[in-house]
Amino acid sequence: MDVLIPSFGRPAELAVTLAGLAGQEGPAFRVILSDQTEGEAAIRQPAVRAMVRVLEAQGRPVRLERHLPRRGLAEHRNFLLGLASAPSVLFLDNDVWLEPGSLDRMSRALQAAGCGFVGSAVQGLSYLDDSRPHERSAFELWPGNEVRPERIRPGTDGFARWPLHNAANLAHAAAELAVPPGEWRLYHVAWVGGCVLFDRRALVDCGGFEFWDRLPLGHAGEDVAAQWRVMERYGGAGIIPSGAVHLEAPTTVVDRDTDAAREILGQ
């Protein structure tokens, strides 16, 4: 597995993200970290460097890149995907901590389902006391964890699933399901943000993020556009329990003038 981390600023959160990776037991992986921090690079900060050394001491290679100038989120993801060679690639945001066992669970689920991607929806644990059953009403498991292609667009029934990943909804859903330790269930999604494991060939076959040059610098939703393409051809799912914890730092994506999914897919 290649773990691809597009990073901008947030060195403290990045160090925590890397620490989460260091706590994984399997499968074998390398990290490709691309830093677009302007000025002093986040990858040179002491805590980040320390976690890089931990990963390398564990026998997990780390490739550090400085990819400037910034040309938008989609271009950054496209750059990272071009550096990947492993059969599966995990796009991991730089403000997500993964609990031990998450990579192994996601990898086994992707192989078992044979679909295009499996995503771990990031959970904001400050919302553990804020249960929202009305936002979980669209939750639906894939029977037998058998994932099939779906077409998701605004106005479709599948699009209405987007509130599933608000707050700590997946943590509450996992508690209700009581999935035995080490096991997982796959469920229908609209899309998944922050932590998505792709079959690399499936993602590349669907164009990856090559559409980046059709977007202005200020955009969001590039991950949605790529996932919807993969879902139509190969299928995609969320995994529960998630195991991905959002560090709840302020977003670095402040310019969202263009919806990439709408621009690229014409919806």
pTM for this prediction = 0.96
- Tell me how far apart the terminal alpha carbons of the chain are, to the nearest angstrom: 33
SS (H, E, C) 207-231: CCCHHHHHCCCCEECHHHHHHHHHH
Question: Rounded to whole angstroms, what are the CA distances from 183 to 43, 193, 212, 236?
Answer: 35, 22, 37, 18
Please check whether residue 155 is in contact with residue 111, taking contact to mean a CB–CB distance below 8 angstroms: no
Q: What are phi and psi of 91, to 5 degrees?
A: -85, 115
Confidence of residue 102 (pLDDT cuts 50, 70, 90): very high
Confidence of residue 267 (pLDDT cuts 50, 70, 90): low
**Per-residue pLDDT at 238 exceeds 70:** yes
| Cα distance between residue 141 and residue 170, in whole Å | 12
| Cα distance between residue 67 and residue 38, in whole Å | 10
pLDDT digits (tens, 9 = 90+) for 150-189: 999 999 999 999 999 999 999 999 999 999 988 999 999 9
Angle at 238 between CA 235 and CA 244, to 5 degrees: 145
Please check whether residue 120 is in contact with residue 33, taking contact to mean a CB–CB distance below 8 angstroms: no
Closest CA to 127 of 136, 137, 138: 136
| Cα distance between residue 192 and residue 109, in whole Å | 15
Confidence of residue 197 (pLDDT cuts 50, 70, 90): very high
| Cα distance between residue 88 and residue 120, in whole Å | 15
23 class by beta-carbon count within 10 Å (0-12 exposed, 13-18 middle, 19+ buried): middle
| Cα distance between residue 102 and residue 97, in whole Å | 10
Angle at 255 between CA 20 and CA 76, to 5 degrees: 50
Closest CA to 99 of 165, 39, 16, 159: 16
DSSP 92-159: E-TTEEEPTTHHHHHHHHHHHHT-SEEE---B-GGGTT---GGGGTT--BPGGG--------TTSTGG
pLDDT digits (tens, 9 = 90+) for 103-152: 999 999 999 999 999 999 999 999 999 999 999 999 999 999 999 999 99
Closest CA to 172 of 241, 83, 118: 241
pLDDT digits (tens, 9 = 90+) for 19-73: 999 999 989 999 999 999 998 999 999 999 999 999 999 999 999 999 999 999 9
